[in-house]
Chains A and B, each alone.
Chain A
Amino acid sequence: MADKTIDRIARATPPGVAKRVRGLSDRTIAWLFVGPSIFLLLAINIFPLIWTIRLSFTNFRVNRVNAPIKSIGLRNYERILSDPDIWQTMQATAHFLFWTILLQVLIGFTLAYLINKKFKGNDLWTTIIVLPMMLSPAVVGNFWTFLYQPQIGLFNYVVGFFSGIDPSSFSMIGSINLAPWAIVIVDTWMWTPFVMLICLAGLRSIPDSIYEAAEIDRASKWRQFWTLTVPMVLPFLMLAVLFRGIENFKMFDLVVQLTGGGPGSLTTLTSIDLKREAFEKWRTGYASAYAVILFVTVFGMASIYVKALNKVKDR
């Protein structure tokens, strides 16, 4: 792209004019423009990342400033990978990821499909549906704890009203069976619109002519849906899943405010566990190793996934 650009400018600019073009050279401007961003990202992202990796091989604790930093090799990693609590946390995270993504894809795609029917007033309703994803997850988590109150909360009241169950007989965030679903519900409420918008972009990218051709071939509506609509939207849908996957794997604010990881450690997702190790138990070295493992997991899964995504795109 850039090569072409420069070629075109060179061709469009006669030699006499080129001499008159004053000021800094393109190369200097390019570095001047990109430099500050790269510098900032190196300072605030890459440098800390390298630091985290270095700390992960030590027994450093932030709250013990005077203790010497001792290198302990891979012991932090060994300890993490053999800790049953970590596996429990990973499992909770996996459950959370599975259900939120499944629900968000199903509801999000359905909504996009319906909105694409271009009924009257869809613009207004789309805006309202999109609102939750613009809000602060921590504040949202906090006010959902109010909605989930057994005695006074709106959620319990509405459920009680429609099902006849006594609203004060169950607590969404206090009960072992319901707490994981409490966070799944709020996350779905908040992020389904994101999946919906991306699906909508996908649906709108399908040219009408394809359906017209299918109609001439007498393909049934059902067949058109499965052989045209779904494959055309699939790359978009997979992209939405990638974004939601990465975001929910990092999930912290919403869950901290909603359940605080409880009851017990039932809804303790990896980020919450990591925060406790790093900023409550102050086991800095150990937490760093934990962070590296998480990063490698996200990065690895995302890379494999992107490969699959590209295959689908190229089809």
Chain B
Amino acid sequence: MSGYSITEPSKRQKWVAGLLVTTYALVTMLPLLWVIATGFKSPADSIAYPPKVVFQPSLEGYVNLFTTQTRISPDMEATIAPPQTWYEQIVRDKGMVIAGASRYGQRFLNSVIIGFGSTFFSVFLGTLAAYAFSRFKVPIKDDLLFFILSTRMMPPVAVAIPIYLMYRQLGLSDTHLGMILLYTAVNLSLSVWLLKGFIDEIPLEYEEAALIDGYTRFQAFYKVVLPQAATGIASTAIFCLIFAWNEYAFAVLLTSGTAQTAPPFIPTIIGVGGQDWPAVAAGATIFLLPVMIFTIMLRKHLLRGITFGAVRK
């Protein structure tokens, strides 16, 4: 306990502030909890009125999300084997059989490949560029830095037209590589700016000492500077990953199947009779959960990264 200070808020102020913020946080959380809960409802419960808070949990939404199904016709009845697993049973109870896997798994995998691939490249290139900007005399440095920042002002839809044409020429349209390159470029501005801030904070004396010890510039960079910048690099990586994970505009305009990520796909999940809300909610939950867990685990770094980026510019 520190001593009395004029600026320390009173007990009553703390109490009122706590109450208001808690209320806001609970209201914020409600839609998220509702979606997660909907993923575990049966289709009938999901559209019940009034909305059901207490319900019999069901995995039907998840089964519908990951499988495609066919209705059992009378002439099929004699030929099909009885259900072997619990999820086949869930489907059978509705008079259906599993015909195969749905495309959700593939879309999710695409998100993983493109998300992690582009994150790797934007952090790799961003670290190199940030180091050079932080430590060397680069000609027209301020202009280059502003140019890098300005690439973020363009609406994605506006550059999508020529990129679409360019990718078609180069055979990059609807490929993982094409999307990785694109997201790398989009994330570079953020990556360079954030990392330059982190590297600026590492004292020069470390490298000077290394250079005097006979290290080359390059050795000093990867043996001294890189380990010092590790936390900065990690939090930058999370930001790049979250962006690439969540991106929708480029994904919907430039991909049609092979390389399409989950955000354009989730809204297209439709059930047999109308929108299958538990399946949509299950898809959303699986997709949102990694980011939510990341955010909670790394909150200190994430919050610092956001405000840091703001203060720098």
Q: What residues make up the interface of A, taking CB atoms closer than 8 Å to B?
A: 1-3, 5-6, 8-9, 12-13, 17, 20-24, 26-27, 29-30, 32-34, 36-38, 40-41, 43-49, 51-52, 55, 62, 107, 111, 114-115, 117-123, 125-132, 134-139, 141-144, 146-147, 151-154, 157, 189, 194, 197-198, 200-201, 205, 208, 211-212, 215, 236, 239-240, 243, 246, 249-250, 252-253, 256-257, 270-271, 274-275, 278-279, 284, 287-288, 291-292, 294-295, 298-299, 302
Residues of B within 8 A of A130 (CB): 295, 299, 302-303
The residue of chain A having its C-beta at the shortest distance from the C-beta of B160 within the complex is A278
- Encode contact with A along B1-13: 1 for CB under 8 Å, 0 otherwise: 0000111010001
* Alpha-carbon separation in the docked complex, A32 to B189 (Å): 18
Contact A154 B20 (CB under 8 A): no
Interface residues of B in 177-199 (CB under 8 A from A): 181-182, 184-186, 188-189, 192
Residues of A within 8 A of B266 (CB): 138-139, 142
* Alpha-carbon separation in the docked complex, A135 to B162 (Å): 28
- Encode contact with A along B232-251: 1 for CB under 8 Å, 0 otherwise: 00000000001001111100
Residues of B within 8 A of A22 (CB): 214, 216
Contact A278 B280 (CB under 8 A): no
Decide: A13 near B217, CB < 8 A? Known: A2-B138, A40-B181, A154-B34: no
Contact B212 A34 (CB under 8 A): no
Extra inter-chain contacts (7) besides given A37-B148, A151-B49, A291-B161, CB under 8 Å: A23-B219, A44-B163, A129-B25, A130-B303, A134-B291, A141-B267, A294-B158
Interface residues of B in 1-31 (CB under 8 A from A): 5-7, 9, 13-15, 17-18, 20-22, 24-25, 28-31
Contact B157 A143 (CB under 8 A): no
* Alpha-carbon separation in the docked complex, A249 to B291 (Å): 25
Decide: A152 near B25, CB < 8 A? Known: A24-B218, A29-B217, A52-B161: no
Decide: A34 near B132, CB < 8 A? Known: A125-B25, A215-B6: yes
12 A-B pairs (CB sep. < 8 Å):
A5-B137, A6-B137, A17-B212, A44-B163, A125-B21, A136-B263, A138-B263, A142-B280, A154-B31, A208-B5, A250-B156, A253-B248
Checking A23, A143, A147, A208 against B217 with a beta-carbon cut-off of 8 angstroms, the contacting residue is A23
Total A-B Cβ pairs within 8 A: 330
The residue of chain B having its C-beta at the shortest distance from the C-beta of A216 within the complex is B6
Residues of B within 8 A of A271 (CB): 155, 157, 249
Most central of A45, A131, A298 by chain B CB within 10 Å? A45
Residues of A within 8 A of B262 (CB): 139
* Alpha-carbon separation in the docked complex, A32 to B221 (Å): 13
